[in-house]
Amino acid sequence: MSAPLLKIKQGNSTALQTVIPSGAIVTMKSSGKLKDPERVLLDIEDDSGGKWVDWGPSNDWPSKARAKLEKSTTALPLIVKALSLMYGDGVVYWLDEKVDGKLVKNFVDIPEVDDFFYENDIDQFMIEQLMDFKFYGNQFQEFILNPLKTKVIHLYHKEAEFTRKSAQNEKSKKFEKIGYTGNWAEDDKPAEIKLLDKTVNGKEYLMEQVAKSGGKFANHTMFPSPGRKVYGFPPHGALYLDKGWLDYSNNIPAIMNSMIDNMIAIKYHIEIPYEYWGSVYPEWAQWDEKKQKVKIDEKLTEMDEWLTGADNAYSTFISHFATDPITRKAIPGWKITAIDDKVKKDEWIPGTQEADQQIARALSIDPSMAGIQAQGGKLGAGSGSDKRTGFANSVSLSKMETKIVFECLELVKKINGWPRNLKFGFAHKLPTTLDKNPTGQQTEA
């Protein structure tokens, strides 16, 4: 059992102190308020009073979260799969129109929108935005205006990991800028971009900001997170908890490899009375140690061949023993003992499956889509209905996330004066049964 962690006061600072196995005392200092070390990755906002709001206690929450994902053979592929399910066949637009009282999607060609999509490679832009959204629950964009500051002509992705919001203005209580740098630990002069204020609705106020922007501005979109005023918290954020399911899943391969590297894999213990060798080889006592070892190795090889292999399964073993003429007690003969697997490595497999299920659940991935089999259960019988249902559910449930992701294009639409009923989304080819569609697919957006 490990020694407990003690909180101690050292002047104005707080520290953790414990005793390591060698008996030495280790003190871990922390300036200011001490944070629970097992909850540190859940604390995503830290207003330290500086120019920028730290993202996490050490201003590296996104980097730590990404590092955990990159070590996972489950979480990272599932996030990419979730992104792929949401992205489908890429970005599309249409006009919502009412025909006979029903809302119809009219996929028309609008040259100005097509040109904007082409110039800004919107498909690639959206992939990058989705990655940040699925990793961190936050997205940042930079908007570049035309010389007259009347329309957006370029839209750029700003990596969330390298972006921070400025501290609130003391008077207006608004976040007025974003800072952008690839090295927040050392760079004290990040690039600054004016941040769009969305506390007031209406196109008139939006256009006032555009006119005063200086030719460019930034926007921040995030997963709605109650109680989080600066950075959004992703629905799967608990996976990043230190010593949580993601750490558990990541540690199992290292533990298993350590077991394999350090264990002595012995299946049988053969006990042979030393007197046996003199009874079989009369010259045994005259042989040197090297020759004796050769004979022992020959016998060991013979026993290995006899004990292993399918042809030798359920073989019978006969062991002779003698009786001491004085004590009349049995003198041990040969003895073969099967050694139990003390490591019990197979017991880790169910734990791995449970971790995979917890990760898939946190990422809202249907087990049939993730290729994860429930413990003691079975996957579908092969009809594919479970995968069709899982895919359809994934597309249906992504509508809310799609709205958040496309907020940036909605802003472009308002500023550029595109049709009010213009809508954006991702196209999907939904798998269906052949009796409903001979191609086995139907396209939806």
Quick one: pLDDT at residue 391?
59
Residue 222 identity: M
Question: What is the arithmetic mean of pLDDT over 164-186?
Answer: 92
335-338 and 422-426 beta bridge pairing: unpaired
Q: Is 295 exposed, middle or buried (0-12, 13-18, 19+ CB in 10 A)?
A: middle
Quick one: pLDDT at residue 433?
42
CA 352 to chain centre: 14
Answer yes or no: is pLDDT of 112 > 70.
yes
Which of 76, 45, 59, 402 is closest to 239 using CA atoms? Answer: 76
Quick one: pLDDT at residue 21?
47
168 against 354, higher pLDDT: 168
**Stated pTM of the model:** 0.70
pLDDT, averaged across the chain: 79
Answer yes or no: is pLDDT of 159 > 90.
yes
Alpha-carbon torsion 325, 329, 332, 336, what sign? positive
Quick one: pLDDT at residue 34?
44
Answer yes or no: is pLDDT of 216 > 80.
yes
Answer yes or no: is pLDDT of 337 > 90.
no
Answer yes or no: is pLDDT of 436 > 60.
no
Question: What is the arithmetic mean of pLDDT over 52-78?
Answer: 91
Cross-strand bridge partners of residue 306? none
Quick one: pLDDT at residue 322?
63
The pLDDT-based confidence of 224 (bands split at 50, 70, 90) is confident
Alpha-carbon torsion 226, 82, 41, 167, what sign? negative
Question: What is the arithmetic mean of pLDDT over 377-388?
Answer: 54
268-271 and 216-222 beta bridge pairing: unpaired
431 against 285, higher pLDDT: 285
Contact 209, 217 (CB under 8 A): yes
Q: Which residue has the tokens 């921070």?
A: 164
Question: What is the arithmetic mean of pLDDT over 119-132?
Answer: 96
Question: What is the arithmetic mean of pLDDT over 151-160?
Answer: 97
Cα 118 to Cα 145, 181, 240, distances in angstroms:
17, 28, 37
Quick one: pLDDT at residue 380?
44
Contact 248, 351 (CB under 8 A): yes
Q: Is 359 exposed, middle or buried (0-12, 13-18, 19+ CB in 10 A)?
A: buried
